[in-house]
Structure 1
Amino acid sequence: MRVLVVVLVLLVCGAPPASAHAGGLQPRDDLSRVVSVEPPLPGVVVEMVNHGTQLMVRNGGATVVEVAGTAVRPGETWRGVDQRTSRAVWEVPVGGSVVRGRVEVVPGPNPLWWLVITALFAVGGYFLKKAGWLLAGGVVVVTVASVWHAVASTLVVTGESFVPLMIGAAGVGLVCWPLAVVAVVAAVRGKAATAFVAATVGAMFVVAGVPDFDSFRFSRLPFAGPGDLDRVLVALTLGGGLGLAAGGVAKMRREFAL
């Protein structure tokens, strides 16, 4: 039993770190957006992308437009950080027009409620220790939540390749996701290893998911879907992971009579 716990600790400490969201985008209360383009530029789309951090100009018109000293030809897209877009009310010239925008601030939720939900998931995960197949099922559910969170946070990033971003967002998931299959196979075969896998996966998700606590206190989340859905996924990954870690260890102690 002690050897298994030592191995679990080593696996957790050696787990690759994960970004809270893909592309380094972070939850926030303030978000910059384009309000108008005056006069209009036919065929040209101007918007804030990547969670309000970059201005994008997509030239679908017939003439060249200039932005930030760069000539954007027809059929080209320009993206870049312009510090002016961080002002409460801002203007940026694009071609012969002026792009006007503003930073909108929406207060974040009360994080206490989400911490309570996380705690409830942890309690539920702990009581899965009653049976190996329950622990395996818990591992699958938490893994699905982790995958969903990683994919949806990757989908909101503009201008970068999906696969590298997904790998960065996955982090520890690259180890944990395959282990969900191992947990199911072990449970089907009635192996004691189910508890060890559940404890390992749960602990790794908790350690790697700590940065995601920011999702509980900011209103704007870089997530392809409702913010509350992302918060549920984060609570399930963190709380469920904690419950699986504790429940898996408790089941191992019972099985080894220690």
Structure 2
Amino acid sequence: MTVVRRSALLLVLAGIVVAGWVSPALAHAGGLVATDARSRVVSVSPPVPGLSVAAIEEGAKLRLVNSTSSPVTVPPGGGPAVPAVIPPGHTATWPDTRTSPVGKKVAAGDSRPWSLTLGVAGSPVTVTGLLEGHPSPPAALWWAAAVALAAAVPILCRRSGRPDLLLAATALTAMAASVAHVLGSTMEVVSAPVLGTFLNAAGINLLAWPLILGGAVAALRGRPAGLLAVCAGAALTAVFVLPDVTSFHRAVLPFAGPDLLERLLVLLALSGGAGAAVAGASVLRTLAAAQAATRPAATGDPA
């Protein structure tokens, strides 16, 4: 089997693995998704000493701290994760469909009120809040940049004197963007352990990152086989970040940092990974041809 066929087979297998791995629920740390609005708590009335309610993770969840001497009752109707009773001295965190911006369309600049009536020591306590809409990014421009960057990689590789180094550098850039994207997504989650959240958010990247890094080192040492690993890792990186392209369309992103930075990271991981994977076959073919040309020709005496 030729080097080109091996690389193509490896990339296909990588795509099949990711296709079976990725789901929208696993694509984001802690199950958070991009939305069009943020949710926040405005007031707790009447105020109860020791009782606090806050919207966390861009409003995707509510956190209730019960430092009172009485249990707090939460009314049903906000989904199966809503706790019925929170005992004294306990804290509860849960996603609530009545207060979360997930699945709700709120126009930029508009706001939508929400409220919950808790039971504290037999008395009603009303928690009020707002869903606040934010402007969406220019999705067409982000997609145009993504396509242009992905297409530029194979073109530049064909014109480069060292396409193997350019390919490795592109894949390493995609890897770095992917790592930063996963870290930022992990840091946004405050309702789950950091390590478990990071591992879930990284997913198949735990295989892709070592492939790219090890393959790049091998390629820098002049081993064309290292580019196979680089291309496979780049393909995995691009496919796994696909669910996060919602960042090109949504206003509020599950990322602990500027939304612009998150979109740039997704752009680099997607386009750099895809561009490196597509350019890989051509680069490997060029290297194979160059190696064949440098081999001494076979000679033999005529019969």
TM-score normalised by L of structure 2? 0.76
Per the TM alignment, residue 183 of structure 1 is displaced from its structure 2 partner at its CA by 2.2
User: In the alignment, which of 124, 129, 133 is matched to residue 101 of structure 1?
Assistant: 129
Say if 1:7 and 1:80 are closer, same or farther in 2 by CA, change over 3 A.
closer
CA contact (8 A) 1:124 1:240 kept: no
Instruction: Give 2:88's aligned residue.
Output: 73
Give the deviation of 1:236 after TM superposition: 0.4
Query: Residue 289 of structure 2 aligns to a residue in which SS?
Result: coil
**Residues 48 and 221 of structure 1: CA distance in aligned 2, closer, same or farther (over 3 Å):** same
Distance change >3 Å, CA 139–CA 82, structure 1 → 2:
closer
Q: Quick check: 1:44–1:57 contact (8 Å CA) kept in 2?
A: yes
Go from structure 1 to structure 2 and tell me whether the alpha carbon gap of 1:72 and 1:156 turns closer, same or farther (over 3 Å shift).
Answer: farther
Match of 2:22 in 1: 17
Does 1:203 find its partner at 2:235? yes
Q: Tell me the SS of whatever aligns to 1:168.
A: helix
What amino acid maps onto 1:63 in structure 2? Answer: S
Distance of aligned partners of 1:81 and 1:238 in 2 relative to their CA distance in 1, 3 Å threshold: closer
Range that drifts further, 220-229 or 91-100: 91-100
Unpaired runs of at least 5, structure 2: 75-83, 105-111, 291-303
What residue identity is the alignment partner of 2:270? Answer: L
Query: 1:64 — aligned with what?
Result: 70
2-structure distance, mates of 1:41, 1:26: 32
Higher normalized contact order (CA 8 Å, seq sep 6+, divided by chain length): 1
Aligned mates of 1:231, 1:207 — CA distance in 2: 16
The offset of 1:238, in angstroms, is: 0.6
Bigger mean CA offset, 80-89 vs 131-140: 80-89
The residue that corresponds to 1:35 in the other structure is 42
Whole-angstrom distance in 1 between the partners of 2:269 and 2:10: 22
How far did 1:67 drift? 3.6
Structure index of larger Rg? 2
- Whether 1:110 aligns to 2:138 is yes
Q: Displacement of 1:78 after TM fit?
A: 1.2
Counterpart contact for 1:195–1:249, Cα < 8 Å: no
Shift of the 45–198 alpha-carbon distance from structure 1 to 2, 3 Å rule, reads same
5 Å matches for 1:88-237?
88-94=112-118, 95=120, 97-126=125-154, 127-128=156-157, 130=160, 131=162, 132-237=164-269
User: How many matched pairs?
Assistant: 256
How far does residue 128 in structure 1 lie from its aligned partner after superposition? 4.5
Shift of 1:167: 1.8
- Match for 1:178: what amino acid? P
| Higher mean displacement: 3-12 or 144-153 | 3-12
Does residue 3 (structure 1) correspond to residue 6 (structure 2)? The answer is yes
Task: State the 1:65 CA deviation.
Answer: 5.0
Unmatched segments (≥5 aa) in structure 1: none
Cα deviation code 1:175-226 (max 9, x no counterpart): 1111132123212311112332232122222222221111100001111111
| Larger displacement relative to structure 2 (247-256 or 48-57) | 48-57
Offset at 1:124?
A: 4.2
Alpha-carbon RMSD? 2.3
**In 2, Cα distance between the equivalents of 1:148 and 1:21?**
13
Aligned-partner SS, 1:104: strand
CA separation in 2, counterparts of 1:22 and 1:124? 31
- State the 1:237 CA deviation: 0.5
**Which one of the candidate residues 55, 62, 67 is aligned to 1:55?**
62
Cα distance in 2 between the residues matched to 1:235 and 1:217: 13
- CA deviation after TM superposition for structure 1 residue 231, in Å: 0.5
CA distance in 1, matches of 2:144, 2:201: 25
Structure 2 CA distance for partners of 1:105 and 1:8, relative to 1, 3 Å: same
